[in-house]
Amino acid sequence: MTTTNPKNHSRRVYIQLCVRRASSGFTDMQQLICRLLAFLNVIISTMLIISRPGLAEKIRLSVADWPPYYYKTHPADGEHAKIINQLFKQVGLEVEYVWYDDWKAAFNTAKAGRHHGTPSWRCNSERAKYFSFTLPIFNDPYVFFHLADTPFNWDRYSQLKAWEPIGVTASYFYGDDFHQVVAQDRIYLHQVRIDVLMFRLLLRGRIQLALMTRDNGQSLMRRALTQQQQAKITYHPTPVTYSISHILFSKQWLGYQELVESINQQITQSKDLFPEDIQAIQQQWQGCK
């Protein structure tokens, strides 16, 4: 965690005490002074967040272990983390990853304003109520993993009812088309807290399909399964959807919009970080609605 500057900490403690006491016995002038101090403290804190190194506090992003994108044991090595770290470095900011056991907790704590934001989430209208989105920066295909001896084939959503229950991860959004078909056809989804649990369910015959990004699934298999278990699982090459994802910044933080604009400007200037497909998506992006 970021080391707290003692002077900043003392200032915040004094102001908190001042505001608390203002409602019990202070004169009108003393109450006004306390509230002005509180307002100035917010302004100073916001300026620290968006200032250059030496003055800047770390930008805290809540995450969970999600190989190959984020590794708790090697935070700088994840594929998504590398790009995020470079973007923030180029605008003079440092990232601090705050780790949770699952992405649902990472999302909810950022939503509550405990951290500045959380990365690698897709856009949807519900999330847009609480977060401001950067330009798209990642584009990862979701596929169905299944047992190798299961003759699974598909090319349209209407076929999926026959393959329930389908394993998914709680709090993930798989695109409007997928969720509409699930609701329309009443497809049973078996939700798990973390992705790797879906492979255990597959091997036990508890689910028929496991929906996750191709790279994440292959990475988890290598890390969590024996070679014998790995040989029993494969995936269908047809993408279910593409996870076009962003960094989300909580609207509870003053200065969030300026931070998004700064990161977006750097994204447009960093074409070397992004393949052509995501650059095309960035150019067409019209905001999260």
Q: What is the pLDDT of residues 188-208, one digit of tens each?
A: 999 999 999 999 999 999 999
Q: pLDDT value at position 136? A: 97
Residue extents of the structural domains in the chain: 6-50, 59-138+243-284, 140-242
| Range 140-242: architecture per CATH | 3-Layer(aba) Sandwich (3.40)
Same fold, 59-138+243-284 and 140-242: yes
72 or 28, which is more confident: 72
CB atoms < 10 A from the CB of 226, how many? 9
Q: pLDDT value at position 6? A: 33
Give pLDDT tens digits for 79-122.
999 999 999 999 999 999 999 999 999 999 999 999 999 999 99
Q: What's the pTM?
A: 0.76
**pLDDT of 36 strictly over 70:** no
Question: Rounded to an integer, what distance in angstroms lies between the CA atom of residue 167 and that of residue 188?
Answer: 9
Domain 59-138+243-284 has CATH 3.20.20.70: no
Give pLDDT tens digits for 37-86.
656 655 555 554 444 333 346 899 999 999 999 999 998 899 999 999 99
β-strand pairing of 117-122 with 131-133: unpaired
* Spatial CB neighbours of 259, under 8 Å, sequence gap ≥ 6: 49, 50, 59, 116, 249, 253
56 or 261, which is more confident: 261
Q: What is the mean pLDDT of residues 199-224?
A: 97
